[in-house]
Amino acid sequence: MSDEPNNTTEEYNDGENAEESIKTIEISGDSIKEINSDGTTPTQTSVLEEISTRKISPTEIKPRAVDVLLEKTSEPIIPKSETPKITEERPPQGVVFEQKKEEKKDNEDESSMKLVRTYQADVVETMKKQKSSLTSMVLAEKEKKQGQTTHKKILDKKIIILIASIVIIFVVGYFGYQMVKPNSPEITEITEQKISTLILPNYKRELYVDRIKRDNIVNALEQQDNETSIPLGYVIQFYLTTEDASKSFIIEGESDYKLLVTTESFFDGIEAKIPDSLIRNLGQDFIIGYHSSLGNNPFLILEVKSYNNAFAGMLDWEKTMFRDLSPTFVRQDSSISLDNNPFQDIVVSNKDVRAILNEKGKIELAYSFPNPETLIIANNETTLQEIYRRVTNARLERKN
């Protein structure tokens, strides 16, 4: 339907002078014109002239019909194609609508949802750009851990190698220094050992054994028995020696490094079953030798620390003494057994003696204490009496 101009002519009066105020208004489309009775259009100057001639104040001027009509017709024309805007009416003052708050919360939730969706979208977009996936991320993390483990193992190996190298260098340096350092002479204190003087012998002789064992000692004594020939009634004293590995001991009057065999070493060497209580109460010095009386007769002199304890120990040793001291102390013409031969008390030179007697009443083996500091072992009465005399003389000489 086309919009054609609508030309309309309408007559109206102002109300004061109906005759004089009849005017014509011509409406043509959107324009409105006022036409006088003579067909002319009044102008604004005529109105102003009228105000000036009649002396009418602006407030007394009534709106003209044309102006009213113009106001009525001056509202904007809404095109048919446009949708009229709906203006929101303001609610009366004092009325609060809670619905707006809820709508605001909904808007905030919606905005937060949009924000989360935006982050998620960004992550997805980033993963797409990097062409990565969860599997690739896991594999990358695993490779990272493996790399760290490998690096740690390499570092540990380096530390171990470093420590081992330091130790090796230290050891090699120490031994190298020991090899090249100048050999300074070590000052060793030399101790001179004195031969026992429990008796005054006619002769003294060293009896050397490389190792203190029963066979070595017995063989050395038998060899001396066969090679020794001394006048009747004479006494020869032997002092047993062995090698000094420490090179700190010598025998008096000699320059070689040797050790005197002690009492304990002697009994251990011949494997004697002597009680420990007896060993603890005997001194370190002892004498073994021969007395010439119808042959070479052996004797043994021991230094005593405690008479009572030593005597008790000798009583215990009586069970095996004869066998322990054989074959050196056993007479060649002896016919008694080495075992089961009880000792009995006898008196020799007014001294108490414990002795094993044969069927003829002669001494096969005997021991006696001529004084509380000395113990004598012999295999006949004559030798026992001679050793008594020599021990007493040596004791008197030491006192003087």
* Domain-embedded: residue 306: yes
Q: What is the pLDDT of residue 117?
A: 53
Does the structure show a pLDDT above 60 at 282?
yes
Q: What is the pLDDT of residue 15?
A: 47
* Domain-embedded: residue 385: yes
* Domain-embedded: residue 333: yes
Whole-angstrom distance, CA of residue 11 vs CA of residue 5: 19
Whole-angstrom distance, CA of residue 316 vs CA of residue 393: 30
238 in Cβ contact with 289 (< 8 Å): yes
Using pLDDT thresholds of 50, 70 and 90, give the confidence band for residue 24.
low
Using pLDDT thresholds of 50, 70 and 90, give the confidence band for residue 310.
very high
Q: What is the pLDDT of residue 45?
A: 45
| Residue type, position 213, single letter | K
Using pLDDT thresholds of 50, 70 and 90, give the confidence band for residue 183.
low
Using pLDDT thresholds of 50, 70 and 90, give the confidence band for residue 38.
low
374 in Cβ contact with 303 (< 8 Å): yes
| Residue type, position 217, single letter | I
Question: Taking residues 27-33, what's their average pLDDT?
Answer: 57
Question: Taking residues 163-191, what's their average pLDDT?
Answer: 75
* Domain-embedded: residue 109: no
Query: Mean pLDDT highest for which of 81-95, 154-168, 170-184?
Result: 154-168
Using pLDDT thresholds of 50, 70 and 90, give the confidence band for residue 304.
very high
Question: Each residue of 214-240: pLDDT tens digit?
Answer: 999 999 999 998 998 999 999 999 999
| Residue type, position 32, single letter | I
* DSSP secondary structure, 219-231, as one string: HHHHHHHHH----
The tally of CA atoms less than 13 A away on the side-chain side of residue 203 is 17
- C-alpha distances (whole Å) from 379 to each of 100, 294, 312, 368 are 140, 13, 21, 12
Question: Taking residues 127-133, what's their average pLDDT?
Answer: 59
Does the structure show a pLDDT above 70 at 112?
no
Query: Mean pLDDT highest for which of 14-18, 123-127, 166-170?
Result: 166-170
Q: Report the DSSP beta bridge partners of residue 192.
A: 250
- C-alpha distances (whole Å) from 341 to each of 109, 166, 314, 363, 383 are 124, 72, 15, 12, 21
Number of structural domains found in the chain: 2
Q: 64 and 196: one domain? A: no
Does the structure show a pLDDT above 90 at 17?
no
Least confident of 111-120, 272-281, 332-341, 353-362: 111-120
* Domain-embedded: residue 168: no
> Where a domain ends, among 58, 73, 88?
73
Backbone dihedral region of 272: left (phi > 0), alpha (psi from -120 to 50 degrees) or beta?
beta
Question: Given the structure tokens 């030399």, which residue do they identify?
Answer: 190
Q: 195 and 69: one domain? A: no
Q: 69 and 201: one domain? A: no
Q: Identify the residue with better confidence: 352 or 71.
A: 352
State CA 149 to chain mean position distance: 23
Mean pLDDT score of the chain:
76
Q: What is the pLDDT of residue 154?
A: 80
Q: 61 and 208: one domain? A: no
Residue 207 burial by CB count (10 A; 0-12/13-18/19+): exposed, middle or buried? Answer: middle
Q: What is the pLDDT of residue 252?
A: 83
Q: 66 and 201: one domain? A: no
Give the residue numbers spanning the domain of 348: 191-399
Using pLDDT thresholds of 50, 70 and 90, give the confidence band for residue 162.
confident
Whole-angstrom distance, CA of residue 86 vs CA of residue 278: 137
Q: What is the pLDDT of residue 19?
A: 44
Find the length of the chain. Answer: 400
Question: Taking residues 236-260, what's their average pLDDT?
Answer: 88
Q: Identify the residue with better confidence: 67 or 45.
A: 67
Q: Identify the residue with better confidence: 217 or 106.
A: 217
Whole-angstrom distance, CA of residue 253 vs CA of residue 35: 179
Question: Taking residues 269-281, what's their average pLDDT?
Answer: 94
Whole-angstrom distance, CA of residue 178 vs CA of residue 167: 17
Contact residues for 384 (Cβ-Cβ < 8 A; gap 6+)? 299, 348, 349, 353, 363, 366, 368, 376, 378
* Domain-embedded: residue 141: no
Closest CA to 238 of 274, 291, 280: 291
* Domain-embedded: residue 95: no
Does the structure show a pLDDT above 60 at 10?
no
Q: Identify the residue with better confidence: 150 or 279.
A: 279
> Where a domain ends, among 25, 51, 73?
73
Least confident of 42-56, 118-132, 304-318: 42-56
Using pLDDT thresholds of 50, 70 and 90, give the confidence band for residue 301.
very high
Q: What is the pLDDT of residue 351?
A: 94
* Domain-embedded: residue 165: no
Question: Each residue of 198-211: pLDDT tens digit?
Answer: 999 999 999 999 88
Does the structure show a pLDDT above 90 at 103?
no
- C-alpha distances (whole Å) from 166 to each of 152, 153, 171 are 21, 20, 9
Whole-angstrom distance, CA of residue 14 vs CA of residue 35: 14
Whole-angstrom distance, CA of residue 109 vs CA of residue 115: 10
Question: Each residue of 315-335: pLDDT tens digit?
Answer: 999 999 999 998 899 887 788
Using pLDDT thresholds of 50, 70 and 90, give the confidence band for residue 165.
confident
Does the structure show a pLDDT above 90 at 2?
no
Q: What is the pLDDT of residue 281?
A: 96
CB contact burial 114-149 (16+ within 10 A = b; e otherwise): eeeeeeeeeeeeeeeeeeeeeeeeeeeeeeeeeeee
Using pLDDT thresholds of 50, 70 and 90, give the confidence band for residue 246.
confident
Closest CA to 328 of 220, 202, 201: 220
Map 299-358 to HEC letters.
EEEEEECCHHHHHHHHHHHCCCHHHHCCCCCCCCCCCCCCCCCCCEEEEECCEEEEEEEC
